[in-house]
Structure 1
């Protein structure tokens, strides 16, 4: 069965720099709705909604989502489309359809993420734009993250995402700026200019949040952007650590040859092995290792990825011992690797006992 997504009504209020009609169109394209389907999901332009709703309704014909008793989204047959649209525009109930109240605290189950969540549906007027953009931004990231992304710069990234949308910047534009800053930070670390590298790296790390959020909030994700962004994220951290270890000599705190290669080997092996373990967990259990149990989500805050490692390096530089910092990063990488390996084996043990391995967020 093919399904199309149609906007009904009219609304000139802009959200993330675009009209609601354009937003609905982009949602339809990104979620693979057909231009003219056998059935149709109607979207009332007086409301803005989390794209999770249309994905959820796509395979649920005969369902209507309401807000304050008024129908906002409805999956109906093409024959019933005109009548259903007229009732929705009048704010009247749609008889015979299963109703889901957007305000229901129980929310809906997101099959892709294997967890329960409550997507937003809000009336779209100028007064509600700031609230809706914040809800949209918050909903653009569905997983767990590190302590810096969660606590230090959420507001910075939100404001920058708003500015980028207003200025018409694409996510790839932001990624390009970030890539340049990433390269500058690498050179600075190699030359022992650690404060310059940290400041440049901080801006890059914030932009690394912004490009993904901008893509999701403006529904402009692309294959190129995804490969580019994730490719930079995957490649640059070990290069940064190598550059930092080399820069210690220029700074005046050189590592011995033996220590240098132990640090580099530990970090490279630990970084690659940890990523492989995360991938193995996804393949075997269909979810990220960091959403299995509360411990795993909490450990994601500090696990030896780029941002927590940068906190360690910053602290060491404040103490005037960047050499201690890179050694500490290597040690923390080894500890994090052991933790991930243990968690993988524990999950495998749970499955062998016939118990389900499911996310605590479900």
Structure 2
């Protein structure tokens, strides 16, 4: 029995063995499963512009966020610990999937077992073999882009559950279960700590090139962090998104972008040391854009790495090399040292809050979010340097940046004290 529900179950952490197999069906989510509408076969004019034209490229190829649809789904399932995937559909569709996977650049990011089965007639999906007693399996649409949050939600389900929306559906099936819950995707708006914003999960059917463009727009929006400084929120994304769109279909990896950014970052320090202050300051603006590209590209193409996880440490090194180089060039070593010390203290404040509250300082309240817009950080200093160096106020502007760095660290440590006191009070109240 199918039962609609407005109750949203929590997406808990799931183990690798939580599901044995994911069935990816080419017939799921279509009004006429596995068939192209007659108007598209004959080439007749169709009033719906979103339908696939007979002379257009198969939308299965994408690229959507730089990946074909099968490649994207396999990477997501591998990251969620699903060991086995079964593609089901018409024989010509399965041949196309095999061809696309042969072109895949990162098979190491796929589940270890990939199978293919021709669907019988118009069956929506075959029931997989080899399931253990009481085990469940994922049922996912092939012609769709699905959010990783939805995958985790389905993996954590304790009974048959389907999520519907965006012209398609996805679910988890317990064979033999009498009751199935259907949940509209609109009800799954949630706070995503990885991008620090509230958003709706993506479940979007792909039947045309227009659908791919819309899905790519949704994906780019989903990987854009929200709690940022003014340049990072309103200026940098304009260029970041263009670069990510250009790079995503190529063989350029997020690690390559990280190495390039770090190399340019230390090159800017050398430029400052040699006295090229204006050119160096302008280059820091380029760094601000490049620094956001590798993370977006990694999240978009599902290619996280150890180097990417340690990127913030590399940022810390080359950013502070700028301040030291400027201090030496302008004969202000104490000012530069104070700026570096403030940056270290500020990072320690962030680590303390992360450990105590499980979130960033900027996520504690609306006031903290607002202060993040103008707080002392590399992007803010870059614009300060550009303006100051351009008008010849070199020493004054370095003092101003150092003051703002110290003020920012002081504000954040006040917030640390407030959080620690509140935590201690709650602990005391529980004991009483």
- Could you say which TM-score interval applies, normalised by the shorter chain? 0.7 to 0.9
Change (3 A) 1:5 1:307: farther
The Cα of 1:43 is off from its aligned counterpart by: 1.8
Paired positions, count: 328
Q: Which residue of 2 aligns with 1:239?
A: 321
Secondary structure of the 2:151 match is helix
- How high is the TM-score relative to the length of structure 2? 0.70
1:168 matched to 2:185? The reply is no
What value does the CA root-mean-square deviation take over the aligned residues? 2.5
- Unaligned stretches of 5+ residues in structure 1: 81-93, 249-254, 356-362
Match 2:390 to one of 318, 325, 331:
318
The Cα of 1:20 is off from its aligned counterpart by: 0.8
Q: Which residue of 1 aligns with 2:204?
A: 122
1:133 matched to 2:216? The reply is yes
- 1:111-134 CA-to-partner distances (Å, cap 9, x unmatched) read 878975312222223102222212
Change (3 A) 1:223 1:19: same
133-142 or 111-120, larger mean C-alpha shift: 111-120
Matches within 5 A, 1:249-264: 255=331, 260-264=332-336
- Unaligned stretches of 5+ residues in structure 2: 1-16, 28-59, 86-130, 428-432
1:49 matched to 2:155? The reply is no
Change (3 A) 1:26 1:291: same
1:205 matched to 2:205? The reply is no
Partners of 1:290 and 1:297 within 8 A in 2: yes
- How high is the TM-score relative to the length of structure 1? 0.83
- 1:247-301 CA-to-partner distances (Å, cap 9, x unmatched) read 33xxxxxx4xxxx243123212211111011101011111111101011111112
Q: Which residue of 2 aligns with 1:66?
A: 164
Partners of 1:56 and 1:110 within 8 A in 2: no
- 1:315-344 CA-to-partner distances (Å, cap 9, x unmatched) read 211321121111111100110011001111
Change (3 A) 1:274 1:264: same
Q: Which residue of 2 aligns with 1:2?
A: 18
Change (3 A) 1:177 1:111: closer
Change (3 A) 1:207 1:281: same
- 1:65-111 CA-to-partner distances (Å, cap 9, x unmatched) read 1015x65220123x46xxxxxxxxxxxxx98222221133x614558
Q: Provide the C-alpha distance between the structure 2 equivalents of 1:116 and 1:149, rounded to a whole number of angstroms.
A: 18
1:303 matched to 2:375? The reply is yes
315-324 or 335-344, larger mean C-alpha shift: 315-324
Match 1:32 to one of 77, 81, 98:
81
Q: Provide the C-alpha distance between the structure 2 equivalents of 1:48 and 1:163, rounded to a whole number of angstroms.
A: 20
Secondary structure of the 2:163 match is strand
Match 1:18 to one of 45, 67, 77:
67
- 1:7-62 CA-to-partner distances (Å, cap 9, x unmatched) read 22183333122211110100111222233784222221222122222123221142
Partners of 1:8 and 1:45 within 8 A in 2: yes
Q: Provide the C-alpha distance between the structure 2 equivalents of 1:113 and 1:17, rounded to a whole number of angstroms.
A: 20
Q: Provide the C-alpha distance between the structure 2 equivalents of 1:54 and 1:17, rounded to a whole number of angstroms.
A: 20
Q: Provide the C-alpha distance between the structure 2 equivalents of 1:202 and 1:28, rounded to a whole number of angstroms.
A: 37
Q: Which residue of 1 aligns with 2:101?
A: none
Change (3 A) 1:114 1:238: closer
Q: Provide the C-alpha distance between the structure 1 equivalents of 2:372 and 2:22, rounded to a whole number of angstroms.
A: 37
Q: Which residue of 1 aligns with 2:239?
A: 156
Q: Provide the C-alpha distance between the structure 1 equivalents of 2:291 and 2:164, rounded to a whole number of angstroms.
A: 36
